[in-house]
Amino acid sequence: MTKKIMLALILFISIQNTAVTANADSLCTGHFVNPITDIDWDALFPITIGSMDVVSSNLPDTKNPSSPLCLCQASIGWRIGVTFGYWEPFALTDVTRDPFCMVNLGGIKLDVGNLDHDIGSKTEENAGYYDGSFYWVHWYKYPLIYWLEILTDVGCMQTGDFDIGYFSEIDPTWNDDTLSFIENPEAVLFGNPVTQLSCLADATQTTTGKILPNDNLFWCMGSQGSSYPLDGDVSNQSSPIQAALLLTERMDFKLHRLSLIEDSVSENSPALCNPHFDPIMPKSRYRYQMVNTVPDGDHAYPFGTNTMLWESGHAPPASHNNFGFLIWKKRSCCML
């Protein structure tokens, strides 16, 4: 109970420190994520030391270091540690058609004055063509393991405060395919039928959620569609949840491209001691689960898993196409 109260206080203080005021909005829905009932804690597993499972899981795992021991440079000399692996609740995302709707902050609408009207018109300009759709995405830093003090080695988890890390509404590349091309010029290589056909292999592999996606096919997001462009346009929406998840995965990729996310690696590497930046997101190291507006607190899935497996009942009309996802990231580290 003490930890529940502590977490609630952290969230309350973080919101009170937000400089922008918030208003009620009939189109903006959502709730605060309850870390007890809304999160599938089985997604934390497996826990590994070296290549051995300490706590097993029915979810697929990345390749782990072969040795249970690791060596890291310290301020003086070297230190021997244990190669430790687990899946960490890492970030939250809002996906919404209502600009500045903070789905995971209780469904509040930030008051940004005339900017809201201008940006809202862009939503309509970018949506409704062919079978496409357009959404805004917000990214939150969510260091839940650190808050709950589940681990004590700060080198093996994300630290700091709950924080809003990215607003797509103030990013001019999010609603402009041409501008987004500056961030991902390689997209021109994959916008043809031949390379997109190769995505069928990734989609087939990830359909059931029992196999990790293929990192070599980085231009594909499994059953969700294409990684590119790294903006809010979804050219072929099969369902609102499918589009929302695709944009969550794209945002993760985009932040990797902007060197805003550090990753460890699964096999023997200096990155076990110090995380590194990777401009190409290693999608096999991420899982997702839905936490808003209808949470799925019992299941997490590898990136690319087909949403048809679970999306029934998770997008009622009252949600107004507001969605929230929790992202889990594989953490491989040298625990000293």
32: containing domain? 19-47+90-266+276-330
> Is 283 part of a structural domain of the chain?
yes
Average pLDDT of the residues in 184-209: 86
Residue 223 has pLDDT above 80, yes or no: yes
**CA atoms of 130 and 156, how far apart (whole Å):** 45
> Is 52 part of a structural domain of the chain?
no
Please calculate the CA angle 31-259-327 and round it to the nearest 5 degrees.
30
**CA atoms of 32 and 106, how far apart (whole Å):** 5
Contact 165, 139 (CB under 8 A): yes
> Is 123 part of a structural domain of the chain?
yes
What pLDDT score was predicted for residue 197? 86
> Is 101 part of a structural domain of the chain?
yes
What pLDDT score was predicted for residue 14? 45
The overall average pLDDT reported for the chain is 84
> Is 66 part of a structural domain of the chain?
no
Helix, coil or strand: residue 87: strand
Average pLDDT of the residues in 68-92: 88
Greater pLDDT, 175 or 5: 175
What pLDDT score was predicted for residue 20? 42
What are the tokens at 155? 């080198």
> Is 57 part of a structural domain of the chain?
no
The pLDDT tens digits of the residues spanning 279-326 come to 999 999 999 999 999 999 889 999 999 999 899 989 898 899 999 999
The pLDDT tens digits of the residues spanning 93-123 come to 999 999 999 999 999 998 877 665 556 555 6
What pLDDT score was predicted for residue 77? 78
Contacts within 8 Å (CB) and 24+ apart, 306-313: 306/203, 306/206, 306/207, 306/208, 306/209, 306/222, 306/223, 307/223, 307/224, 307/239, 307/241, 307/242, 307/245, 308/239, 309/208, 309/209, 311/239, 311/241, 311/242
What are the tokens at 190? 């994959």
Among residues 297, 257, 278, 214, the alpha carbon closest in space to that of 223 is found at 214
> Is 67 part of a structural domain of the chain?
no
Looking at the 3D structure of the chain, how many domains does it have? Answer: 1
> Is 212 part of a structural domain of the chain?
yes
